């Protein structure tokens, strides 16, 4: 079932078994997974933006903290591929994820992989103590976020 | 300024500098920190409950996955102590965190430390492959969540 981009908010439709022809039943209901997914994005955003703010001098640079923040971003990047099971699209609950996440899985997987790779470099850069390397890594992670969001997230702002 | 338990929802009050006499200005605004904090709790809940569901047989037990979930819970547990800066209480934004988080900091710190310790054991138990040990660890982490929430989170359900 192809879906065009649907605007606005959606009433949760709890018919998870009918949505998404593939594989295992969801262990958690769609709303729970969506809440988790959005929470994961919030966590990633916070730790990533804190590194960026430290590099900008908006907050005091703390090398140990930067490493910790990078560790969190890197761990979170490894979870994204499991945050979009079948049955958690906008017909199943309130999410900005576009149907292309599931209709264009290879392209989506490429975006996720890019995030994972840039996050690994972010962690290495933080570990190295080389601020220029870190700044470049921050830029690349940010670009990977944007690239995925441009194609796979509904922009409602 | 002592606050009693305030019910209901609060309009965000962006006067962070006036709230919380101590220390550094917030790098992010209170709403951003609250969103992050709540996201962190969602992430923790999801990974923790997935381990519990695997032990219950609600989803297929996967030893490698259990280790990964425990790693996430353990990492998340180390972040809690930095999720409650001054100026992110219920007068600053929409949060269920009770003012005792800041009025009873030693007791709050004890609860956080308990979570961190039980999460370390959760990770070791997952690593050991010993399901009985893991079940006990799950129980202890769950108890630590409840103990903190009972005293420091407003119950609005």
Residue B35 forms contact with A (CB below 8 Å): yes
Q: Are A146 and A109 in contact (CB under 8 A)?
A: no
Q: How far apart are the first and last CA of chain A?
A: 27
Is residue A46 less than 8 Å (CB to CB) from chain B? yes
pLDDT digits (tens, 9 = 90+) for B105-116: 999 999 999 999
Structure confidence by residue, pLDDT tens digits, B40-95: 999 999 999 999 999 999 999 999 999 999 999 999 999 999 999 999 999 999 99
- Name the pTM for this structure: 0.85
**A48-100 residue pLDDT tens:** 999 999 999 999 999 999 999 999 999 999 999 999 999 999 999 999 999 99
What is the tens place of the pLDDT at every residue in B117-146? 999 999 999 999 999 999 999 999 999 999
Render pLDDT for B12-40 as a digit per residue (tens, 0 to 9).
444 444 443 344 567 689 999 999 999 99
CB-closest option in B32, B39, B45 to A43: B39
- Which chain A residues are Cβ-neighbours of B35 within 8 angstroms? 42
pLDDT computed for residue B26 by the predictor: 74
**Mean per-residue pLDDT of chain B:** 88
Q: Which residue has the tokens 């220390």?
A: B23
Q: Does the distance separating the beta carbons of A33 and B46 come in below 8 Å?
A: yes
Q: What ipTM does this complex have? A: 0.84
Q: Which chain B residues in 94-153 lie under 8 Å from chain A, judged by CB atoms?
A: none
Write down the pLDDT at residue A28.
Answer: 80
Shortest distance, CA B48 to any CA of chain A (angstroms): 12
Q: Which of A30, A41, A42 best tests the B interface by mutation, with the highest count of B CBs <10 A?
A: A42
């Amino acid at each position: 079932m192809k879906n065009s981009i649907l605007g606005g908010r959606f009433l949760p439709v709890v018919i998870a078994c009918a949505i998404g022809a593939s594989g295992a039943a969801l262990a958690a209901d769609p709303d729970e997974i969506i809440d988790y997914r959005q929470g994961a994005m919030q966590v990633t955003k916070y730790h990533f933006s804190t590194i960026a703010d430290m590099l900008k001098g908006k907050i005091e640079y703390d090398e140990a903290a930067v490493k910790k923040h990078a560790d969190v971003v890197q761990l979170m990047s490894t979870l994204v591929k499991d945050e979009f099971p079948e049955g958690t699209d906008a017909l199943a609950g309130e999410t900005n994820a576009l149907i292309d996440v599931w209709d264009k899985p290879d392209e989506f997987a490429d975006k996720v992989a890019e995030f994972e790779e840039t996050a690994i470099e972010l962690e290495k850069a933080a570990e190295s103590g080389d601020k220029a390397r870190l700044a470049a890594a921050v830029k690349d992670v940010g670009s990977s976020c944007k690239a995925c969001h441009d194609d796979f997230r509904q922009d409602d702002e």
